[in-house]
Homo-oligomer: A and B are copies of this chain.
Amino acid sequence: MGFMHHVAACNDHDASGFIPFAIENQPVGRVRPAFAGLLRSWPEIFSVTGQAVALNCRGSGLQERSALVAGVLEQLIAQGVLGQFHGERYAAVAEGGREPLLLIDRAMAPCFGIRAYGQHVNGFVRTGAGLKMWIGRRADDRRHFPGRLDNLAAGGLPYGLSLVENLAKECWEEAGIPAQLAHQATPVGAVTYHMDTETGFKPDTLFCYDLELPEEFVPRCMDGEVQSFYLWPVEQVMELVKHSSEFKLNCNLVIIDFLIRHGYIGPEDEEYLALLEALHPPMPPLPRHFL
C-alpha cells in the first residue's frame, strides 16, 4: 500500500467537477453544479449561472449574510437534502486573503468548498524501549470514521477560537490533557490536502504539533469521541500507516510528517522527496481570526 497511497487518497479530486463560489467578487470555494442548482431557489441570496455561484451580499455584514445562508441550509436540511449541522462554524476567506467573508456550519463547509483548518497532536513518550506514540480509537458512534485510529488529540479550528485556545480545548476534551501540559505542545509544521467528499470539496490545512508526554501520563477521553487509547512503539504505528487503512484518512498524513521529521522515514525511501512535496502543496495564508 505505502505512504503515498494515503496522501493520494486525501488529494483525490477532480477540479472539473466543481464551479467557483465567490463572495464580494472574490473566489472563496467551489460548488458541485448539482448543489448550485438547488441554490437557484433563493435568487435573492445566490446568483447562480452554469459557470459560477456568487453570494448576493451587497451591503450585508458578516453576521447578516451568514444568517441568510444558514437559513437556506436549514431549509435544505428540512427537505432532507443535507445532513445535520455540526454546531461549530468555519469562516470562508478569499483565496490569498485573511479576513472572514462568511461564517458557515462546519458540516456544510464542503458544500461550498470552503477551506478548513485543523490542529493535530502527535503525543509521544521517550521510553527505555524507544519512542512510543499514544494513539486513540474513535468511538463507534462517530459520524466520521467510526472505530478508526486517530491522533492523540485533533480537531477542526472553529471561528471564534485562537490556535492556542482550540489546541488546549481539543487536548482536554479528547485526551484529558491539562492545559499546562497542552501548552508544551510544539508546533512542528503543517500538511495540506484537497479532497472530494460526499458533501463536496474539502481543502484542509492541518497544523501539526509534537507533544512529549511523561511516562506516567495516561490519556482519558472527556467527550466520548475516543473509545480507547494505545501506547504503541512508533515502528508499530509506522507499519499500520504503511500497510493498512486503520487510521482516519488525514491522520495518516500527520503521522507520515512525524515519521519524516523523526527519521523513521529516511531519504533512502523511494518516496521521500515526493512525500515532502505532496504534504506541502500550495497553501493559503492563515486567517487573522486564529491569532
Residues of A within 8 A of B (CB): 163, 186-190, 192, 205, 207, 260-263, 266-268, 270, 272-274, 276-277, 279-286, 290-291
Closest 7 CB pairs of A and B: A186-B263, A273-B283, A280-B280, A187-B266, A277-B283, A187-B263, A276-B280
Q: Given the complex of chains A and B, what is the CA–CA distance between A263 and B164 in angstroms?
A: 13
**A286 near B272 (CB under 8 angstroms)?**
yes
Q: Is the CB of A261 within 8 A of B188?
A: yes
CB of A170, distance to nearest CB on chain B (Å) = 15
For A187, list chain B residues within 8 Å (CB).
260, 263, 266-267
Interface of A is mostly: mixed
> Using Cβ atoms and an 8 Å threshold, which residues of chain B touch A207?
267
Measured between beta carbons, the chain B residues less than 8 angstroms from A262 are 186, 188
Report whether B286 and A267 are in contact in the complex, using a CB–CB cutoff of 8 Å.
yes
Given the complex of chains A and B, what is the CA–CA distance between A282 and B192 in angstroms? 15
Indicate which residue in B189, B267, B277 contacts A260 across the interface (CB closer than 8 Å): B189
On chain B, the residues within 8 Å of A282 by CB distance are 277
Contact of A188 among B260, B279, B283, B284 (CB under 8 A): B260
Which of A205, A266, A267, A279 has most B Cβ within 10 Å?
A267
A273 and B285 in contact (CB under 8 A), knowing A187-B267, A280-B279?
yes
Bound together, the chains give a CA A267 to CA B277 distance in angstroms of 19
- Assembled-state Cα–Cα distance A70/B187 (Å): 48
Contact A283 B274 (CB under 8 A): yes
